[in-house]
């Protein structure tokens, strides 16, 4: 690792021109499942691609440098990355997670809890008393996710990490929504950073992948061991595409976030919009924490249509630049309706309690021209009535 290199340089150039054989500028892809031994008991660093693969290792090294970690394990999906961290908790151990965590994470946590793999406590981590009560039960692992989905509520990573560590817990932060371009949980006290690389890191909506970055070298081996025995490591081709996408992480995120700020300001001034949830707006409940903890406000936001479910239906049927789809972080702008898509499984009552109304829409703002995005929103809002 070249100490002290700017993260932009790491993203753009880690591993460039490192090929010893032909001088390939772009690091080669090794699709081979297996590697020839040079002799009896002598492998050349790689044996079998489930265990380790050169291109996947280069992606892991790049992610570890970007997150200020000691190393990383690259997995076949973000969910596999979450599950890999959960391998730290065994029968009788307590896992504490945010009550408004990503839906897939919620499903995985409750399925494993139901099978007795560990105990689970879901808490509102912005509620200091609720968090303290959870930590008094001496959890093994505290999971954090900030900003939350879809209301973009931000929690204080360093405060939660300090209290969790004082209680003897390990701390894992899901950094998918911001990426290391805008937030670095390890310097704030996290032991592990989880990514769905499907989102901003790859950034082109053409790979499903994940990663766990470890703050400490000593944590790496147990995770590598578990990823290898369960076979959840990512494929060489996915690692290649993800590193290719990662090269442009910084300029993509900067441009997307500038578009998102313009979209948030436009929506906040529109009469058909009842509320805008974007941490970059001074009116957002957790604007101050976001400003202190992040180096930018990101490109995800949500907003409430005054007209409720019917207006939301008309809006998503009218958009032409935005596409109605789940997921986020790609170069293209997406709109999702949480009540009928990402948060359908939660049930109406839990959604209402969480503040997810039927008129709520979530945007992942892409790289299109700002004027085209605003014009699309303008006409869709007119159609929504
Ligand atoms: C998408 C997502 C995941 C799951 O990742 P997959 O790549 O879809 O398996 C986990 N956490 C967050 C915050 C996500 O947005």
> Among 44, 298, 310, which residue's Cα sits nearest to residue 180?
298
Same domain, 181 and 43: yes
Residues in the chain: 385
Q: Which of 221, 246, 271 is the last residue of a domain?
A: 246
The mean pLDDT value of the chain amounts to 97
Q: Is the pLDDT of residue 383 over 80?
A: yes
Kindly report, residue by residue over 106-149, the tens digit of the pLDDT: 999 999 999 999 999 999 999 999 999 999 999 999 999 999 99
Atom of ligand 1 nearest to the CA of 209: 7
In contact, 125 and 98? CB cutoff 8 Å? yes
Q: Which of 156, 174, 191, 219 is catalytic?
A: 174
Which domain covers residue 79, as residue numbers? 7-246
Q: Is 104 in the pocket of ligand 1 (CB under 6 A)?
A: yes
Residues 303 and 240 in one domain: no
Q: Is 112 among the residues known to form the active site?
A: no
Selecting among 153, 199, 252, 362, the annotated active-site residue is 199
Query: Domain for residue 226, yes or no?
Result: yes
pLDDT recorded at residue 3:
60
* 169 and 254 share one domain: no
On the question of a cis peptide bond just before residue 147, with omega within 30 degrees of 0, the verdict is yes
Per-residue confidence (pLDDT) for residue 385, from 0 to 100: 87
Structure tokens at 62: 């790049």
Task: Give pLDDT tens digits for 146-159.
Answer: 999 999 999 999 99
Question: Is 137 one of the annotated active-site residues of the chain?
Answer: no
The rounded distance, in Å, linking the Cα atoms of 228 and 52 is: 8
Distance CA 298, CA 285 (A): 16
Residue 358 is predicted with a pLDDT of: 96
Q: Is residue 241 domain-shared with residue 260, that is, in the same domain? A: no
Instruction: Give, in order, the Cα–Cα distances in Å from 71 to each of 107, 139, 191, 216, 228.
Output: 28, 25, 11, 8, 16
Let me know if residue 2 belongs to a domain: no
Alpha-helical (H) ranges within the chain are: 7-13, 54-66, 78-86, 103-114, 128-135, 157-166, 220-230, 236-246, 249-268, 287-293, 308-318, 348-354, 370-384
Band (pLDDT 50/70/90 cuts) for residue 346 is: confident
Residue 4: band (very low, low, confident or very high) from pLDDT cuts 50, 70, 90: confident
Q: What separation in Å is there between the alpha carbon of 103 and the centre of ligand 1?
A: 9
Count of domains for the chain = 2
Q: Select from 186, 213, 246 the last residue of a domain.
A: 246
Measured distance CA(59)–CA(212) in Å, rounded: 12
The CATH number of the domain holding residue 314 is: 3.90.1150.10
Question: Which residue, 27, 20, 47, is CA-closest to 36?
Answer: 47
Q: For the segment 276-334, what is each residue's pLDDT rounded down to a tens digit? A: 999 999 999 999 999 999 999 999 999 999 999 999 999 999 999 999 999 999 999 99
Tell me, what's the pLDDT at 130? 97
Place of tokens 């009540």: 339
Ligand 1 lined by 208 (C-beta under 6 Å): yes
Last residue of a domain, one of 246, 277, 311: 246
pLDDT of residue 354: 84
Average pLDDT over residues 206-225: 98
Same domain, 316 and 240: no
Query: Are residue 135 and residue 21 in the same domain, yes or no?
Result: yes
* Active-site residue, selected from the candidate residues 50, 112, 140, 313: 50
Using the mean position of ligand 1's atoms as its centre, give its distance from the Cα of residue 195 in Å.
7
**Protein residue with its CA nearest to atom 1 in ligand 1:** 196
Does the C-beta of 330 come closer than 6 Å to ligand 1?
Answer: no
Structure confidence at residue 1 (pLDDT): 45
Residue 297 in contact with residue 260, Cβ under 8 Å? yes
Among residues 356, 350, 355, 290, which one has the least CA distance to residue 146?
A: 290
The answer, yes or no, to whether any atom of ligand 1 lies below 6 A from the CB of 198, is yes
Pocket test for ligand 1, best of 151, 193, 199 (most atoms within 8 A of CB): 199
Let me know if 91 is a catalytic residue.
no
In this structure, what CATH number is given to the domain that contains residue 163? Answer: 3.40.640.10
């Amino acid at each position: 690792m070249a100490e002290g290199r700017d993260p932009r340089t790491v993203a753009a150039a880690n591993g460039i021109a490192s090929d010893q054989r032909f001088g390939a500028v772009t690091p080669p892809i090794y699709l081979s499942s297996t590697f020839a031994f040079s002799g009896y008991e002598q492998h050349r660093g790689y044996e079998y691609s489930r265990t380790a693969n050169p291109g996947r290792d280069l992606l892991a090294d790049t992610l570890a440098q970007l997150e200020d970690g000691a190393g990383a394990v690259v997995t076949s999906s973000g969910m596999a990355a979450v599950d890999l961290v959960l391998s730290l908790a065994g029968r009788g151990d307590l896992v504490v997670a945010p009550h408004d965590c990503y839906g897939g994470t919620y499903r995985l946590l409750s399925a494993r809890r139901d099978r007795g793999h560990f105990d689970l406590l879901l808490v509102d981590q912005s509620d200091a008393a609720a968090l303290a009560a959870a930590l008094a039960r001496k959890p093994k692992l505290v999971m954090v996710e900030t900003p939350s989905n879809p209301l973009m509520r931000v929690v204080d990573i360093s405060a939660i990490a300090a209290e969790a560590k004082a209680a003897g817990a390990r701390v894992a932060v899901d950094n998918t929504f911001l990426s290391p371009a805008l937030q670095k949980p390890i310097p704030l006290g996290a032991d592990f950073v989880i990514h769905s690389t499907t989102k901003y890191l790859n950034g082109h909506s053409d790979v499903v992948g994940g990663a766990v970055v470890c703050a400490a070298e000593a944590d790496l081996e147990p995770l590598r061991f578990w990823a290898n025995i369960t076979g959840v490591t990512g494929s060489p081709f996915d690692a290649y595409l993800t590193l290719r996408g990662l090269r442009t992480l910084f300029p993509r995120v900067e441009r997307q976030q500038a578009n998102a700020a313009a979209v948030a300001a436009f929506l906040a001034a529109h009469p058909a919009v009842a509320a805008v949830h974007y941490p970059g707006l001074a009116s957002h409940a957790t604007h101050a924490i976001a400003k202190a903890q992040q180096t930018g406000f990101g490109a995800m936001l949500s907003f409430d249509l005054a007209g409720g479910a019917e207006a939301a239906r008309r809006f998503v049927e009218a958009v032409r630049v935005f596409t109605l789809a789940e997921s986020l972080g790609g170069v293209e702008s997406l709109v999702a309706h949480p009540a009928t898509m990402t948060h359908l499984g939660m049930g109406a009552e839990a959604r209402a309690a969480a503040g997810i109304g039927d008129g709520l829409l979530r945007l992942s703002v892409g790289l299109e021209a700002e004027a085209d995005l605003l014009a699309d929103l303008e006409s869709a809002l007119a159609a929504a009535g």
